[in-house]
Amino acid sequence: MTINGYKYKSPNCYINKELETVADFEGELREASSVLDPVFEVKSDANLANINYCYIAAFNRYYYITNVVWVVNNLWRIFCHVDVLMTYKPNLLQHDAIIARNKELYNLYINDGESFKVTQNSRVVEKTFPQGFTGESYVLILVGDDD
């Protein structure tokens, strides 16, 4: 089966990864192997340690290469893990969505039922009473805008 080898530098959470083609090569599945985490054996004179991403047309999936092991005499073992975002990118980009949670951008008007991201800024103002206190006194504290 044909394996298209790439090098990518984009973060894993990006749906549109920038791929640099390194090499295309033929490989065979090693014994019983998962489609989500396949292990291939490849005979190649090229240094396959430089690739970190691949596409396998037979499975119609993109994969992160998690490990490359040189076995013997230019025989390489390649361990992969499916990249769900790139594999299903066409389907994902067709849908509109409201993203209720994001660590950087958030909307306090969307109640997700679990938590809101809020900040608390303490503001302490000290005021001196011009006459001081004598005997019993009452102090009234108001919280609100300075306007």
Would 147 be classed as within a structural domain?
no
Would 40 be classed as within a structural domain?
yes
Say which range, 81-90, 105-114, 124-133, has the weakest mean pLDDT.
Answer: 105-114
The structure tokens 């291939």 sit at 40
Q: 43: number of CA atoms within 13 Å, CB side?
A: 2
pLDDT tens across 27-51, in order? 888 778 889 999 999 988 877 878 8
Q: Report how far apart, in Å, the C-alpha atoms of 108 and of each of 98, 121, 145 are.
A: 13, 17, 21
Residues 6+ apart with CB under 8 A from 27: 1, 3, 40, 41, 42, 78
pLDDT tens across 62-107, in order? 999 999 988 888 888 999 999 999 999 999 889 887 766 666 666 6
Would 146 be classed as within a structural domain?
no
Contact 38, 50 (CB under 8 A): no
Contact 24, 73 (CB under 8 A): no
What pTM was estimated for this model as a whole?
A: 0.65
Task: Show the domain range for 9.
Answer: 1-141
Domains held by the chain: number: 1
Closest CA to 18 of 34, 27, 26, 6: 6
Would 4 be classed as within a structural domain?
yes
CATH code: domain of residue 75: 2.40.10
